[in-house]
Chains A and B, each alone.
Chain A
Amino acid sequence: MDFAYSEQQTQLKDSVDRFLTDRYDLRKRKALMGDAAGAEALWREMAELGWMGAAFSEADGGFAESALDAFAVMEAFGRRLMALPYLTSVVLCGDLLRHAPAADDLIASMIAGRLHLALAACGNTLLHSPHHGALDAKRDGAGHVLNGRMSVVLGADRADKLLVAARTAGADGERRGVTLFLADAGKVARRGFRMIDGLGAAEVEIDNLALGPDAVIGDPDEAVPLIEAALDRATVMACGEAVGSMSHLIPATAQHIRTREQYGAPLAKFQVLQHRMADAFIAAETARSAAYVAAIGLDGARDPATISSAKFQVGRSARLTAYQAVQLHGGMGVSEEVDIGHHYIRLTMIDRLFGDQSFHLRRYADLTQLGETA
């Protein structure tokens, strides 16, 4: 039994942390949101440092010893509030790319930092339940013609290609009948914008897009299990990011209340604030335990119940920790000029991403047949 990162994972995490500390602060983060070329240049540097390859096993062309490599990267991203779309493009879409006909080339491009992807699936849910909300596909000879509109596709603003879930059989809500297509982003209408956490997204409108059979990823009509597996993996990685973010917020808030004086004493002298810090610590450390175990589990047989339990824990803990971090920072906590509030926003987004606390708690109960006879 061991909960330490391997040497490779430790080095990876430390190098991400160092690089971002040197090169990526709040001002840079904001600047890159309006500077596609600058963001692209930084992305290429990240690729050269090998961070994209950390999300893929050697068999898939990467160098990950285990899923914990990407988890370690995500933890460092969380600490440093990284706002480039690693989670949606490399982790989530990268996992789905493994089932593409030309997987090797596509993954190699992604590892080199030359391919950005976004997943258009799951309707309006922020990416859970892929048997709902697929776009429309009509058979046309050997291929399909796709139509439909999706108001929020995370990472689609700067994506080169889209993975589009479209219904090729059955009705909305049926587990069979969804097919995953790879489409050039240039062939669809996009209106880019920022999410509340500053990460990019786009409204996507697909109008009679004809795609051949070589655009199909995985088996036709069978995309739901593939997408669910990729979402589960991405969920755990999002947990890693949240754990990293919380591990920044707690010492930063402790530092603040040690130095900020009111009523003639440092805030840290007030027991009510000490106990808030203790509660945040309890929340963050238990979330870390749940996230670690879910991450370790990614390399074995898939265990969605453990993942849902972890996401529930991490979401609840992240909300509590970030809420208190803002509260204890007072006015500085709600200022756009200070990182604390941006962590709060990102953690709130992670809580909602891939299914929120209600979704995952119910999913956990369903998967473990709680209160139901088997």
Chain B
Amino acid sequence: MSDLGHYALRLALLVAVIGIAAGVAGGWRQRIEWSAVARRAVVLVFVLVTLATVALWVALASNDFQLRYVAQHSARGMELPYRLAALWGGQAGSLLLWLWISCLFAVAAAAFHRRSPLRSLPWVWALLLANAGFFLVLLNFVTSPFEKLPPAEVLSDGSGLNPLLQHPLMTIHPVLLYAGFTGFSVPFAFAFGALLSGDHGTAWLRATRRWTLIPWFFLSVGILLGGRWAYEVLGWGGYWAWDPVENASFMPWLPATAYLHSVMIQEKRDMMKLWNLVLIGLTYSLCLFGTFLTRSGVISSVHSFTAAGWFGFIFLGWVVAAAGAYFAVLWMRRDSLRSPNRLESVLSREASFVLNNWAFMGILVVVFWGTLFPVVSEAVRGVKISVGPRFFNAMTGPLAVLLLFLTGVGPLIAWRRASPASLRRQFRLPLAAGAGTAAGLLLAFGSGIKLYPLVFFSLGAFVVGTISQEYGRAVRARMRGSGESALRALATLLRKNQRRYGGYVVHLGVVFILIGIAGAAFNEERLENLKPGERLAMNGYTLEYLTARPLPQQHYGGAVARLALFEGNRPLGVLTPEKRMYWLEQQPASIPAIRSTLREDLYVILTALESDGSATLKIHRNPLVNWIWIGGYTFVLGALLVLWPHPQRRPGRDAR
């Protein structure tokens, strides 16, 4: 079976090369039959890569430890779901998964645009195949998942997957992130194809926007789940550490989100074509770059990068080539992309979107610079300097405030030029909501409240005010106009203009997430050493250390502490933080115990069991952190409302 996978990858590379040639020929000579060949090559490559992926899955499920990859990332003792998840536990397998998902997107595009008259399509197929071809070269010649161990090294068991990854969230988080990363190859190919073919009409724009929304959704959810996993498993009390790996997933999200906003200006006012093409190019370049960062070892040290040899250089070469080619063609076509329209007023929706784009780009610059600074400094000056989370928080905070403010302004302000009267009418209620919240917070907390929570909560109220006002007005208008009931009017609204009203729900989710993040300003933490029977009081809670027991599990040992939790005198239950040691992998792990409410989380880590029988505990009180996950669910709901296909609307007739 593993031989089958090996040869499937070889054959896929061959088919991809043929398909690229056919696509280029079809694009160059405008030959429809060559385009069809290229499209079929996309389908065939997908079938072959699927075969390879299934082959590796079968090898993992059947414990085929002849394969180096299976031996290094799986073990007999692991449950089947985690053996299958080991597909993305290591380098070669995760590249195969990356390739497979990108082929899935490519084949979806091929099916969807089978009868499309777009002139750029042969180029699109060639570009998608070139993207797959690069990963096929890596998987065939640089890091193969089907590499066999020399017979003398074959053992009867593997060394297992990192136990921290053996968590339900980790079976889906990487898949979602990859779906985000790879999915952006489709809008990239459509934009690049449009540039190459010179077909700058509006059809490619609709195609790109739709194909951006889907990976953007996956990437967003993937990032959120990653935070959730870090919170539940890594046991340091937080969910986001501005770690280079996290930043690598966050960076493409920024231009993609900026694009989803500014593309509306292009649709309504035929402006910012060039800029939108820049954003699409940036998004996919950063996806490739992020994969390079996390896969090459360059982040831990420039020297480990050069030691890693071929892989990093080939990958960096590809990132530079793809981005370079795209932006070179964009530069050559710049004159035909000029817009006839100009920005008419600073008080307009266009201007608010332009500012929104600048803010997203500002955050991108900060994150990019902070992530790469240690590498650059080591390469240039030979000194390694680390950049802490404080830098990122301090720099992105003001920009996040600006974005939250614009979230409220953008939907209400008029296109072209807003009149003072319309501004008053639109913003009276939301501004009152924001100001009222600010006043209430100042009254309740006095000057003790910190600046960021005050600003975030007030602006959050302002945005929620704008959203409710928009929904309220539209529902009332429908009820008056067509005599529908409120619920029915709401449903019609969501169906007739799903982008707008679904988008508002997405915004609501973002507001919740930002409120949850701002809650961190009230975080408290304590480190205590308790003997059995001793208590500690923290902010109305009382924790009593009862006992510690050994953890007799099959794959790991360690201890679980039992803590009685009281609020006042009312018992709330028993918390059981664990300290584990995974035998096979020799890896320790602290599993926190979390008592979660809408108001706050109590997050308890068993730091150490001391030799005198006492326990050292780290207790975090994390107010409002649950709102991040609630915001996540709201976000998903909103995104689904936007993406939900409505049968009565044909692709040709895009909604206004």
Pair from one complex: no
The residues of A with any CB-CB pair to B shorter than 8 Å are none
Chain B residues proximal to chain A, CB less than 8 Å: none
